Structure 1
C-alpha cells in the first residue's frame, strides 16, 4: 500500500535531512578508517612486493562485478605485466580535515609489455554534487600510449579523450529551453558511431580508463554543497527557506534529467566505471590478502585434481573393460597461473 506524507506531519525535507545525517556518519567512518589503516597498507605493500605475481593472482580471483569486464586479452596482459596496484583517498592525503574521503585514486604499475609504453596508469574519481540533485563519482579520461596496432580499446579511449577535451574547453551552458535538443559535435558523432559499432562484450577493461560519468566541475559541486548546507541550517534554526518548485515541476525536471543521462550514456564507453572503481576500492583492495590465499588454494586444488585425474582415467579404463559406464569429469576453474576465460 502506497503511503503519502500529505497525511502525516512529516516532511520530505525532514527525511532528506535525516538521510544526510546518515551519509555524514558513513563518510566520517571512511575518514577514520583510512587514517587507521594506512600503516597496515604500507606494511602489506612491503610484504607483497616480495611475492611474485601477487596482484595478477589477486585479480584472477576478482569479485564478479569486476571480473565480468576483464576480457581474455586483458587478462593475458594483466597476468604477464601487472606489477602493483594501489588505492588512495587522495583528497584526504592533501587535506585530512576537509578532503572528501569518498574520492579515490586507483593506480596500476606495469612492467614492459607489448601493448603500451606507460609504466603507470592512474585514474582518479572525484565525489561531486550538482544542483540538479546528482551526487556520486565523476572522473576524467586517462590517455594510454598504445603501441602500433596494440590498442585493446580499438580507438575508443582516444575518441572519448578528444570529446572530453572539447567539452572542457568551452564553459558549461544552461539553456532556457530544457527540451531543446543539443546537436552533437563532429567528435561526439564519431565517438557515438564507434560505440554503436562495437559489439557487446567487445570492450576491453582498459576502456574503464575512459569513464567520465556526469560532467560536474569542482566549482559547481562546491556551490551545490554550500547551498544545500545553508538550506539545512535554516530549517534547523527555524528560519524561512525559499519554497522549492512544486511536485509536478520536480517530476518533469526528473524526467528531463533522465533523458539527459541517457544522452550522456550514449557517449560513455564504460557506463559502469564508477561501480568498478568502488569494487576495486571497497572490495579488491582491502581484501587482497583474502583473494591471494584463495588463488593459492585454487592452485593447490587444481594440482590435486590433476593428480587424481590420472587415477580416474585408470579407473575408467578398468570400468570400460568390465563394461562399466563412463562418468563425466568435474569442471574446475582454471589455474591462477593460466589465462582467464
Structure 2
C-alpha cells in the first residue's frame, strides 16, 4: 500500500506552512501601512473637491455594497440625506506613530477610526460621530477589531435604536467601574441581553454600529501587547525548533454575543474602510447613473399614481441633476430614495 506524501509529512511541517501564511499576513499589513502613507495627500485633495458637492456621501451610501446596504434602513437614509456632510477614515495608530530611533513604525495599520460628520439636525446633538476600532490580539491567539461604544445624545423621541445604544453604554460603564470588562453578573448585562433578544443591528438602524464592542469579547491594550510579545516568542521557538506545547484556554466568550449591539460591527467597519472609503467616487458615479436611469421610471409612476400617497420610498430625484451638476430645484432637499429591504 502506498502512503501519501501528505501522510508522511512531519507535523512540524504544517506548523511551518502556517507560519509562512502568517508572514504573508504580516506583508499584507505592511502594504496597508505603505498605501496609507502614500495616499494621504491624495485623499486630502479628494476631500477638498467633494466638499463642494452637496449630498455626496448620502449618494455614496445609496450605492453602497450589500455588506453595508443591508444595515441601512430607510430612516437612516433620511438622516444621511438631510444632514450627513462627510465621512473620514483614518489609520490613527500610523498617524500617531512617528517611529523609533531606527525609523521603525510599530502602530498597527489595521486599527481604524471612521468619522461621520453632520450638520445640525432634528435627530441628535452631535455634529461628528467617531468610531475608533483597535486591532488587538487576545491571550488565546484570537485577533480582530474591538471598540468602545459611542454615546449619541438623541433628541426626545428620535432614538431609532430603541434604547440599544444606551444599554450598551450602561453595560460598558458598569463593567469599567467594576474593573472587569467580562463581568456578567450585572443588572446591566441582563438588561442588554433582554434588549438584544428583539433589537439588533439587523433590524433597527445603522447607528447601532456605533455601539459595537467586539464580535467575540473586549481585548484590552495590555492583554494585546502581552499576547503580541508571546506570539513573537512562539514564532522564534518555531524557527529554533524549541516550541513548547500549547495550553488550551477555556472558551467562555459565546455569552458576549448576547449583549453585542451589532454582531457584524467589525465586518462593517472593514468594508467601509477598505471598500466604501477608497471607492467613494465610483459609488457616487454609480448613484448618479442609477438616478438618471430611474428618472423615466419615476415619471411613469407619477403618471400612474397621480393623486396617490407615496409608498414611503425616499426620493432620489433633485439631489443630482442631469449632466452631473447639482440641482437647485424645489425638491433638492429631499433625501435619496432608499432601496426597499428584501
Q: TM-score range by the shorter chain?
A: 0.7 to 0.9
Larger radius of gyration: 1
The aligned runs of 1:96-107 (5 Å cut-off) are 96=98, 97-107=105-115
Q: Secondary structure at the match of 1:127?
A: strand
- 1:82–1:108 CA contact under 8 A, matched in 2: yes
Match in the other structure for 1:339: 337
| 1:102–1:194 Cα change, 3 Å | same
For 2:181 and 2:288, locate their aligned partners in 1 and report how far apart those are by CA, in whole Å: 54
CA, structure 1 residues 267+173, in 2 after alignment: closer, same or farther (shift >3 Å)?
closer
On the 8 A contact 1:79/1:339 being kept in 2, the answer is no
1:202 deviates by 2.9
Structure 2 SS opposite 1:56 = helix
Q: Give, in angstroms, the shift of residue 270 of structure 1.
A: 0.5
2:330 — aligned with what?
none
Give the Å deviation of 1:244. Answer: 2.2
Corresponding residue for residue 34 of structure 2: 32
Aligned residue in 2 for 1:45: 47
Secondary structure, aligned partner of 1:339? coil
1:53/1:83 contact within 8 Å kept: yes
Name the residue aligned to 2:234.
231
- SS of the residue 1:184 aligns to: coil
User: Is 1:203 matched up with 2:204?
Assistant: yes
1:282 pairs, out of 268, 274, 280, with 274
Partner SS, residue 107 of structure 1: strand
CA deviation map 1:294-324 (0-9, x unaligned) = 11111211224456x49x98xxxxxxxxxxx
**Superposition TM-score, scaled by structure 2 size:** 0.81
Residue 103 of structure 1, CA deviation: 0.4
- Secondary structure (helix, strand or coil) at the match of 1:136 reads strand
* Distance in 1, Cα, partners of 2:296 & 2:73: 28
1:184-203 equivalences under 5 Å are 184-198=185-199, 201-203=202-204
Q: How does 1:17-28 map to 2 (within 5 A)?
A: 17-28=19-30
Distance 2:135 2:200 in 1: 31
Q: How does 1:1-341 map to 2 (within 5 A)?
A: 7-11=8-12, 12-96=14-98, 97-172=105-180, 184-198=185-199, 201-213=202-214, 214-236=217-239, 238=240, 240-245=242-247, 250=248, 257=251, 260-306=252-298, 309=300, 335=316, 337=319, 338-340=336-338, 341=340
**Which range is displaced more, 165-174 or 117-126?**
165-174
Deviation of residue 74 (structure 1)?
Answer: 1.0
Paired residue for 1:320? none
Give 1:152 shift.
1.1
Distance in 2, matches of 1:170 and 1:4, equals: 55
Q: Secondary structure at the match of 2:145?
A: strand
Q: Contact between 1:302 and 1:335, CA under 8 Å: does it hold in 2?
A: no
Q: Is the 8 A contact 1:55 1:85 kept in 2?
A: yes
Instruction: Give the root-mean-square deviation of aligned CA atoms.
Output: 2.5
8 Å Cα contact 1:139-1:212 kept in structure 2: yes
Shift of 1:289: 0.3
1:298–1:335 Cα contact (<8 Å) kept: no
- 1:155 offset after TM fit, Å? 1.0
Alpha carbons 2:91, 2:110 under 8 Å: kept: yes
Q: Which has the higher helix share?
A: 1
**CA deviation after TM superposition for structure 1 residue 239, in Å:** 5.3
Gap regions ≥5 residues in structure 1 = 175-181, 314-332
